[in-house]
Structure 1
């Protein structure tokens, strides 16, 4: 399947789980299509771009390792995505990558995700946190930044500042996730302090 053929197929994708699953399965069964899907996703002004993002999210949810050969391309380009309906799945993919990296499972992503990938993810997730993005993108970014803060000491203090600053003005969903993340950060901070004493 060519990029143009895949692009035409994505015209049939809608919000239904059934359609997203159908095309995610197509990608999983044909991993070479992943790069073509990314090329479509990064046509950031195109109305099909969000559909590619939805399919990539479903694909990564089912098999995170499919993104591994494309981490350079993904992390170099995803900050350009600006359509609301594409940002949410991209933020979710960042969360999936990060959760997989920090999981106890022996995943290939642990060796594939390099410091420059993490730094790009951190930068874009902070952008999502401070910009006027939808709550879902912010929620996924909070979790991603919390996890990456295990490797970057400066991340948690910055994240805490943003969460505390924005807490009162944000939605109930934001507040719920922020409260959860702040609690985890405080617990982690206490653990670190007690081990240092």
Structure 2
């Protein structure tokens, strides 16, 4: 697949789950196209298309390491996103990458993600958590922030405060994840 073929595929109408899976299989064999896929996400923001972000999310589930050469561009592009569908996928990728860094302590992630990049994720995740966003983005953001609190000591108290303020007004899914996160925070002494 070429860059042009990728562009055409991502911008030729809504893709089915089967088409996304087929595209992910192709991209798994062509990591050199990941940067172009990431650019397509930023280009599709502001449109009603989310093919690129949906593809990216599914690709990262299989080959998260493909994100690392593009992590700077990824983190710099997060704060400008407007499309809820795109934010959802990107928040999910943030969660994956923070789990790789903090939970599994994957050396490839620990050695290649900079403090500045982590700080950008902290900022955007708090924005998603307290902003007017859909529940999936908030749930993924709170998980990322929980992990990031292992490095930034101010994050856990701030996360706890936000969750305690919002937990009663959230959806069932939000309440469930917030309750679990608050329990983890209490166990950690917050």
Shift of 1:22: 1.2
- Counterpart Cα distance in 1 of 2:112 and 2:146: 20
* Unmatched segments (≥5 aa) in structure 1: 191-197
Q: How does 1:131-170 map to 2 (within 5 A)?
A: 131-170=131-170
Provide TM-score, normalisation by structure 1.
Answer: 0.90
Which residue is equivalent to 2:109?
A: 109
Per-residue deviation at 1:4? 3.5
Provide closer, same or farther for how the CA distance between residues 78 and 132 of structure 1 changes in structure 2, counting only shifts above 3 A. same
1:104 Cα deviation after fit:
3.2
Compute the RMSD of aligned alpha carbons. Answer: 1.5
Equivalent pair of 1:13/1:20 in contact (CA under 8 Å): no
Alpha-carbon distance, 1:3 to partner: 3.6
Dislocated runs of 4+, deviation >2 Å: 1-5, 11-15, 103-107
Q: Secondary structure at the match of 2:19?
A: helix
User: For residue 22 of structure 2, what is the aligned residue in structure 1?
Assistant: 22
Task: Map Cα deviations across residues 116-171 of structure 1 (whole Å, 9 max, x no partner).
Answer: 11000010000001111110000000100000000000101111111011111111
Retained in 2: the 8 A contact 1:68–1:109?
yes
Show the counterpart of 2:48: 47
Q: TM-score, normalised by structure 2?
A: 0.93
Can you list the C-alpha shifts for 1:7-38, whole angstroms capped at 9, x where unaligned? 2111355352x222211122111011101101
Aligned pair count? 188
User: Structure 1 residues 81 and 179 mapped into 2: Cα distance closer, same or farther (>3 Å)?
Assistant: same
* In 2, Cα distance between equivalents of 1:128 and 1:15: 27
- Quickly say closer, same or farther: Cα 1:185–1:112, change in 2 above 3 A: same
Matched, 1:126 2:126: yes
| Unpaired segments ≥5 residues, structure 2 | none
Asked if the contact 2:125–2:144 (Cα under 8 Å) also holds between the matched residues in 1, the reply is yes
> 1:85 corresponds to which residue?
85
The 2-side partners of 1:35 and 1:57 are apart by 14
Inter-CA distance 64–46: structure 2 relative to 1 (3 Å threshold): same
